[in-house]
Structure 1
Amino acid sequence: MANKSSDLKMPKVKTLERHPVLRLIASVLIPVVRLLFKVRPIGLEKLPKTGPYILVGNHVTNVDALAVAYFVYVYCKRAPHFLAKESLFRVPLLGRILTAAGQIPVYRSGKRNDAQMAAANAYLNSGHSIAIFPEGTLTRDPNFWPMRGKTGAVRLALDTGVPIYPIGQWGSEKVMPQYGAKFRPGFWKPVDILVGDEIDLSRFRKNQLTPPELYEATEIVMKEITKLVAQLRQEEPPAKLWDPVSAGQPVTGNFKKANHK
């Protein structure tokens, strides 16, 4: 039986998407982000100006969430809502700020995320947008290409019927290395975010989707993200998505530190 005392509080959906508390938090974070790096949006016109949608992107460093949140708030004029790892919400002050800003904690310890999915559904049903890194953690690909994704984003899109849009982002690795201590901020350093067309999941929008179909739909999503990253990098991506399980890597946590134990 789940230990209810350890369950994290879910955020409440506000009638006003960019509500006063979020505006206050943004007023503090926006100048900080602008000092750390320069977000450059491409293809912004592809995203709906109103109504619900799911934004899915690649995950290279811990700076990515700040870059995407800035992109959503400043350029899309929307409220950024993320599904984020639970450990962040257990940091006393940070956890309260994240919850107040409408972020959703996700368990990684084997606990069910029913309440989390319900919270994400509530935001989408209220016309908000949700941002998800489908890989579930920083990519394990040796060259930072997107790796195999998890099915949560696809299941959310199919359950709610909302559109899903891919973004490729590149540049954060020059600001903060993966799990590294050599933080290299600079307001002139670009982090490019390229928006792709809506991903067509129409053939998967049916009742009782099988696990193989869910994985197929997720792979389609990850390949669309990879195409965008390839455009930004101006390089040819790997033919196959990196699979950390096949490579014998842990699927959560600092895999580089684990490899050196």
Structure 2
Amino acid sequence: MSTWRAITLMFRVPRRGRGFWFSLAIDIIWPLLAIFTRLRFRGGEQVPKQGGVVIASNHLSFADPVTVTAFTLAAGRIPRYLAKASLWRIPLVGKVLAGGGHIPVARGTAQARDAYHGAVDAVRRGECVMFFPEAGFSDDTDHWPSARVKNGVARVALETGAPVIPVVNWGTHTLLPATAKFPRLFPRKTIDIATGDPVDLSDLAGTDRESLDEATKRIMHAITELLAELRGEQQPPPRG
């Protein structure tokens, strides 16, 4: 979309429920994203306009939460993220996260399970909860999804029965590479984001290990398949 269209879109996306600090961060960052990148969104109609929903995305860059937030807002929903609890201790970042209703994850502690309960509660309240199932950024040299994934998204989906919408980012790794401290604004980068059909988990019941593994496999297959389509390349063979 054009820069002007991207900027004007900012005024048509949901505002109520974003919280002051999260909303302020969006209003500051969105115009910069529109000016310094070419945004191409596809498939936003796949995201339900109301009711609890889980979104699962590939992960390439620290820029991903920014671009996925813009995409999700453009689709009519306010995303709630799971993020490291330590980020809440950073003064301004903590205000943005707390005000936006995001969910802290206390990794490696007895409180880590609280994030799962927080995500389940959010979905049951009708929220849109965002997951990056990979354990960090993609570790694949060609930027395909990692074989190393977490099953939290599958657990929340099976517990709540909420639809799981696969989302893929492409281009954020050139805007802000994983090892870079600052974004690479020139030449102007194209950021593609697309969604696919909800992942069918209807035949899986309960949250036993077999069901979780199968649900996670299906979600990551949907993400990889969608990314291959977006990139115009053949899907790589399964890893791990």
Common fold: TM-score over 0.5? yes
Deviation at 1:240, TM superposition (A): 1.3
Q: What is the one-letter code of the residue matched to 1:77?
A: G
Match of 1:138 in 2: 137
Match of 1:185 in 2: 185
Deviation at 1:85, TM superposition (A): 2.2
Deviation at 1:43, TM superposition (A): 1.2
Deviation at 1:34, TM superposition (A): 2.2
Match of 1:235 in 2: 233
CA contact (8 A) 1:17 1:128 kept: no
Percent identity over paired residues? 33
Match of 1:211 in 2: 209
Distance (whole Å) between structure 1 residues aligned to residue 166 and residue 156 of structure 2 = 14
1:96-175 mapped onto 2 (5 Å cutoff): 96-148=95-147, 149-175=149-175
**Aligned partner of residue 168 in structure 2, secondary structure:** strand
Deviation at 1:25, TM superposition (A): 3.5
Distance (whole Å) between structure 2 residues aligned to residue 216 and residue 79 of structure 1 = 28
When residues 151 and 48 of structure 1 are mapped into structure 2, their CA distance, relative to the original with a 3 A threshold, is same
1:106-154 CA-to-partner distances (Å, cap 9, x unmatched) read: 1222444232122222221221101110113111112110013210001
Match of 1:81 in 2: 80
1:238-259 CA-to-partner distances (Å, cap 9, x unmatched) read: 2113x4xxxxxxxxxxxxxxxx
CA contact (8 A) 1:134 1:152 kept: yes
Match of 1:201 in 2: 201
**Aligned partner of residue 203 in structure 2, secondary structure:** helix
Match of residue 219, structure 2, among 209, 218, 221: 221
Q: What is the one-letter code of the residue matched to 2:219?
A: V
**Structure 2 unaligned regions, length at least 5:** 1-15
When residues 159 and 40 of structure 1 are mapped into structure 2, their CA distance, relative to the original with a 3 A threshold, is same
Q: Alignment length, in residue pairs?
A: 224
1:51-80 CA-to-partner distances (Å, cap 9, x unmatched) read: 11111010011111110011112x112212
Q: What is the one-letter code of the residue matched to 1:109?
A: G
CA contact (8 A) 2:45 2:75 kept: no
1:8-55 CA-to-partner distances (Å, cap 9, x unmatched) read: xxxxxxxx5345554333222322332342331111122211111111
When residues 183 and 25 of structure 1 are mapped into structure 2, their CA distance, relative to the original with a 3 A threshold, is closer
TM-score for the superposition, normalised by structure 1: 0.79
Distance (whole Å) between structure 2 residues aligned to residue 38 and residue 87 of structure 1 = 32
CA contact (8 A) 2:21 2:96 kept: no
Distance (whole Å) between structure 2 residues aligned to residue 25 and residue 183 of structure 1 = 17
Match of 2:10 in 1: none
CA contact (8 A) 1:69 1:80 kept: yes
1:141-168 CA-to-partner distances (Å, cap 9, x unmatched) read: 1211001321000100111111111011
**Structure 1 unaligned regions, length at least 5:** 1-15, 244-261
1:204-244 CA-to-partner distances (Å, cap 9, x unmatched) read: 1x23x431331121011101000111111111232113x4x
Question: Once structures 1 and 2 are overlaid, which stretch shifts more, 131-140 or 115-124?
Answer: 115-124
